[in-house]
Amino acid sequence: MNATDRKIFGTLFFSIFAAVTGVGIVVPLLPVYAHDLGASGIYIGLIFGAFSLSRTFFLPYFGRRSDKKGRKPLIVTGLFSYAVISVAFILSKGVEALIVIRFIQGITSAMIMPVVQAYVGDITPKGKEGWIMGLFNMSLFIGLSAGPLLGGVIKDRFSLQGAFACMGILSILGFALSLLFLPPVTDEHVVKKGLPPLAWSKIMKDRTIIGLFAYRLVHTACIGIIWGFLPVLADTEFSISASAIGILVMIGVCVSGIIQIPMGWIADRVNRKVMVFLGGLITTGAVYGFNHATGFNYLFWDSVAFGIGGGIAMPALMAAAVLRGSLIDAMGSVMALLTVAHSLGMLIGSVMAGVMMDMFDLKLAFTLGAAVMILGTILFMACTWRTDLNTGATPPPRRHKYPRSDMAIPFSPIGVIHTPFTDLTGMPIQPAGARDVIGKIVLDPQYEQGLKDLDGFSHLILIYHFHRSKGFQMTVEPFLDTVARGLFATRAPRRPNPIGLSIVRLLEVEQNELTVQGIDVLDQTPLLDIKPWVPAFDIQGEVRVGWMEKRQDNALEHKSDDRFVEEKRKR
């Protein structure tokens, strides 16, 4: 991680620490506050569920928007909004108002957490996902552990309104840090790539992401049960003070935070899947244990066990998510999806526990939580069974005598090509017809070192993806002819594997940007590879050009028409 990325990481770390500490001060006190106002179990569940519900609906929008427009605007807006919401908490007078405020706070939260985690993922070096995410998660866990402790003390010595005020002050601090020290949007990695976000439908079919989603969902459901109803259990069953309740909520989060860094370091060196599975088993046992609590000491050590389970599993899980997001170039979308799992988990856990409390017995909510946790852990293992979570590799299918037509060979763009051509019609059909056209190639910064020594070559071979190409036919009428030809005897863009190749002149190399001449591709074309063009390697002696013999010179002036445009093909 270079100096700029370290500055970004430090800013995000301290900004989120301040904001999360403020939230942690308030959230554990809301159930007791609502209970004092006469709220039943289902209303307490709705106070937490409203937050998760609204955040769930807005996460996909903000996650995709951060991939398109950058991370900073959403982060600073969200942190400032948290400060405004703290004032609303102070002015609230009833349970219904608390539900509305939490609903709005959920929308605000959708701007912050997945976007910040995606930003951290953007700057994480390959092979250090566990270490970096474990280090960053310290800001979350320490804030969440310190917050409840401070909240209990502030409520006991001052008032609940004082706790809300502290939340506002800390949110403003996080806002100021992000506004002043995060670099401009134009300098963000995701903006420099210039690649369109990957479709949600493709992301949601990824079995590895489904497994990560499932585990995050059930683990957060257990957190929802503990955060929402452990304070009520401690208060009603054992008459524990607000400060002691703060300690119970704090200690699990604190323990998990303390072991984040060593567990993250381990996650980069051992099997991440095994770590998640082990953490799931420990978490299951801890949640079930609350059903048999006998007093403060029992609740304390059970909370410690719950923190250990999360501390083992979460760095490995988030490292796998960062790796997956990087491999499919959808960091913001993957983080948003995992945060959707977080929101749904809080909603399901809190409402489920509220129903159990009203219809049966509060302790049974913890038994049900343990059952859900073990089922989610099994589903995680089933979905990720064939995936190496440390490298992202999936074992190939069984060998066949001939390659299977359904065998997927994944490629990820290394950058994007910018040209003057924004329409598929009226373009040069070959580099020979675009000799004076200047274009720019912007590589993902992680590949910049690969450009070393490239400035010694005058020409390059660009391999790219025809991203506007949909479907294919085995015979086509090419641009240079009026007769149907076999697809593989043409250079038509609609192909079984829509890959293009152009030879261009290299004019300049500046950091991760190349200026080239003679470029004949559409603007925003995803780049797959760059190779130096060497005459001794690439120029053959005696050649034949088939049906193009009398037409090849026409490529100098001929422009593309709409024969391969999707809209026309559908008519």
pLDDT of 122-133, one tens digit each? 888 878 888 888
Over range 395-405, report the average pLDDT: 48
Q: What is the mean pLDDT of residues 6-25?
A: 81
Cα(446)–Cα(1) distance, rounded to whole angstroms?
10
**Which of 447, 408, 433, 430 lies closest to 528, judged by CA?**
447
407 pLDDT above the threshold of 60 = no
* DSSP single-letter state for residue 496: S
H-run or E-run covering 287: helix 272-289
Whether the CA torsion 139, 142, 144, 150 is positive or negative: it is negative
**Weakest-pLDDT range from 23-37, 203-217, 372-386, 421-435:** 23-37
The H or E element that residue 542 is part of is none
Tell me which residue of 526, 524, 196, 192 sits closest to 333, measured CA to CA: 196
**Residue whose pair of structure tokens reads 């134009």 in the numeric block:** 186
241-to-132, 197, 231, 366 alpha-carbon distances in Å: 37, 49, 10, 21
Mean pLDDT of 364-392: 88
Q: Which CATH architecture has domain 415-570?
A: Beta Barrel (2.40)
The tally of CA atoms less than 13 A away on the side-chain side of residue 54 is: 18
For residues 388-395, give the mean pLDDT: 72
DSSP letter, residue 185: G
For 263, the token pair is 């567990």
Task: Count other Cβ atoms within 10 Å, centred on residue 420.
Answer: 11
What's the length of the chain? 571
Asked whether residue 244 carries a pLDDT value surpassing 90, the answer given is no
The per-residue pLDDT for range 309-366, each reduced to its tens digit, is 988 998 899 888 888 887 777 788 888 888 888 878 877 887 777 777 777 777 778 8
Mean pLDDT (whole number) for 432-442: 85
pLDDT at 560: 65
Closest CA relative to residue 233, chosen from 219, 244, 218, 220: 244
Point out which residues pair with 485 in neighbouring strands. 476
Q: Specify the residue for token string 């995050």.
A: 216
Q: Burial letters for 529-552: b for 16+ Cβ neighbours within 10 Å, e otherwise?
A: ebeebeeeeeeeeeeeeeebeeee
Least confident piece of the model among 115-119, 124-128, 188-192, 517-521: 188-192
Residue 123's Cα: distance from chain center in Å? 13
Mean pLDDT across the stretch 28-55? 73
Q: Which CATH architecture has domain 3-383?
A: Up-down Bundle (1.20)
Where are the CATH 2.40.30.70 domain residues in the chain?
A: 415-570
DSSP lists the bridge partners of residue 249 as none
pLDDT for 454 equals: 92
Short-list 406, 401, 396, 439, CA closest to 420:
439
Q: How far apart (Å, rounded) are the C-alpha atoms in residues 169 and 151?
A: 14
The whole-number pLDDT of residue 475 equals 85
Single-letter amino acid code for the residue at 547: W
DSSP class of residue 259 equals: T
Average pLDDT over every residue of 164-175 = 83
Q: How confident is the model at residue 395, as a pLDDT?
A: 55
DSSP state of 547: G
The residue behind tokens 């983080």 is 335
* Average pLDDT of the segment spanning 171-187: 86
Residue 567 has pLDDT above 60, yes or no: no
> For 171, how many CA atoms within 13 A lie in the half-sphere containing its CB?
28
pLDDT at residue number 558: 63
Q: Considering only residues 275 and 406, tell me which one the structure prediction assigns the higher pLDDT.
A: 275
Q: Is the pTM of this model over 0.85?
A: no
Q: What are phi and psi of 394, to 5 degrees?
A: -115, 125
Task: Say how far apart CA 268 and CA 258 lie, in whole Å.
Answer: 18
CA angle 486/488/489 to nearest 5° reads: 65
**Which residue has 């552990």 as its token pair?**
145
DSSP letters, 552-569, are GGGGGT-B--STT-HHHH
- pLDDT average, residue stretch 501-529: 91
The whole-angstrom separation of Cα 218 and Cα 442 is 40
Report DSSP letters for 371-435, one per residue: HHHHHHHHHHHHHTTT--TTT---PPPPP-SS--TT-------SEEEE-S--SSSS-BSSGGGGT
Phi (first) and psi of residue 140, to 5 degrees? -75, -50
Separation CA 239–CA 343 (nearest Å)? 30
Number of Cβ within 10 Å of residue 65's Cβ equals 18
Query: Which structure tokens are listed for 452?
Result: 């070393």
pLDDT of residue 562: 64
Mean pLDDT computed over every residue of the chain: 81
Give the helix ranges, DSSP H, for 480-559. 535-538
Q: Which residue ranges does the chain devote to CATH 1.20.1250.20?
A: 3-383
- Which range among 62-76, 156-170, 429-443 shows the weakest confidence by mean pLDDT? 156-170
